[in-house]
Amino acid sequence: MVVSAIDTRYAGPMNAIFEEENRLAKWLEVEAALAWAHAELGTIPKAVAAEIQRKANTRTVKLSRVKEIEAKIDHDLMAMVKALAEKCSGGAGGFVHLGATSYDIEDTATALILRDALDLFDRRLVSLKKALLKQAAAHKNTVCIGRTHGQHAIPTTYGLKFAVWACEIQRHIERLGEARKRILVGKMSGAVGTMATFGPDAFKLQELVMKRLGLKPALATTQVLQRDRHAEAIALLSLAACTCEKIAKEVRNLQRTEIMEIAEPFRKKQVGSSTMPHKRNPHKSERICSLARVVRAHLNVALENIALEHERDLTNSANERIIIPEAFILTDYILSQTESIISGLEFFPENIKRNLKSSRGLIMAERLMLMLTHKGMNRQAAHELLREASRRAFAKKTHLKEELLEDKEVRKYLSEKELEDAFNEETYIGKAVEIVERVIKELS
């Protein structure tokens, strides 16, 4: 019986990376690499290592058998060792797991799993960035009202919105590239990190194992890899989830009935409410915001895992079986859903224009203040003049232009045509178009 939504509702390609079968496969891959390294150093016969390598796979070592042994001995890693050893012929089973402690295998295997998971994470980020850049290019000239503190500010463009988000996703891609060297690390250092069980060639053995697995060897460890590495991985996921939440929240706000400038995709047969047939809820965006909270909460647990006692305790183990798979699977789903929303956004140009005009010219007060300043008026005086004129226009529900046309001080500096032209919102977007073009060129 399925219990968790990550196995059904929010499942995706990331699930396969964290399945029990793949976890067992990675454990066996590390055991095979360990046996090979021992043989290279002459610690065990090459024929023995070859036999272990032949049998260290999930075609031979079945998950069901490992679970059967675990039920008796209550140790999952040792159950794998026994299951592998019993499949090895010619006495080779006696050399399985030679010199290793459980977390030499588990932490190194986790690094292999994280490598595949981070590769998929990277692909998701790149795909979302491309979708954002495509919308940035399509809407670089779509002028809309910018909002600060939830209030109308001055004009901006939808292209710039998408460009800003694309830049943020690019930073996540860069962070991921920089973090790989700290996350994709394995170890063969024994019970407390001294390498005592591996003898005089311990450094060489660890180097050989990691080279074969394509991982970086840890410089120093205790019985486990230090959990700042895993916390950093979940921090990367949390940052990406937060960016998606920000995008989703913007979509939700801009889809409000009284704003309705854009809306997430809504299929022909889609139902918005079980009782209100007319509803068109931004439920995908809301879902993203909901799941981002879970990913962030997992980061808190990962940070607490850093402070293990002495050379290790087990307080990280149980929760990592939950937080690492869930954080990756949910972030993968969040990224996929965000890309789907961005790619299918519906725009309502008439509402965008309506909202741009709805302040009756108040959003152009900054521009007029600067025009008066450039004409010779004191900047602070110009600010006060526009502040007071804006206050009057707001109270009287008149257009700001009408207030300024009647202001004798303003007419000393600005002609009627200059005032008329100043209220063209589309000519007050600064370098927005060029910024978008620069972003597209830099990130494509």
Catalytic residues: 149, 273
Residue corresponding to tokens 């954080």? 327
Which one-letter amino acid corresponds to residue 390? S
- The SS3 call for residue 372 is helix
Paired sense of beta strands 151-157 and 262-263, if any = unpaired
Distance CA 284, CA 252 (A): 9
The amino acid sitting at 84 is: L
Structure tokens at 409: 């001080």
Q: How far apart are the C-alpha atoms of 111 and 327, rounded to whole Å?
A: 15
Rounded CA separation 115/190 (Å):
23
For the packed helices 76-85 and 102-138, what is the interaxial angle rounded to 10 degrees? 110
Residues 6 or more apart whose CB falls under 8 angstroms from that of 294 comprise 326, 330
User: What letter represents residue 115's amino acid?
Assistant: R
Measured distance CA(106)–CA(79) in Å, rounded: 13
Check residue 154 and give left, alpha or beta (phi > 0: left; psi -120 to 50: alpha). beta
> In angstroms, rounded to a whole number, what is the distance separating the alpha carbons of residues 409 and 395?
21
Q: Which two tokens stand for residue 89?
A: 């012929």
241 close to 291: Cβ distance less than 8 angstroms? yes
Angle CA 295–296–302, to nearest 5: 90
CA torsion through residues 376, 381, 385, 391, sign: positive
**Ramachandran class of 74: left when φ > 0, alpha when ψ lies in -120 to 50, beta otherwise:** left
Kindly report the number of other CB atoms within 10 A of residue 8's CB atom: 10
Chain centre to alpha carbon of residue 187? 27
- DSSP secondary structure string for all residues of 231-285: HHHHHHHHHHHHHHHHHHHHHHHHTSTTT-SEE----TT--S-SS-TT----HHH
Tokens of 404: 């300024």
Query: Which residues pair with residue 151 across a beta bridge?
Result: 148
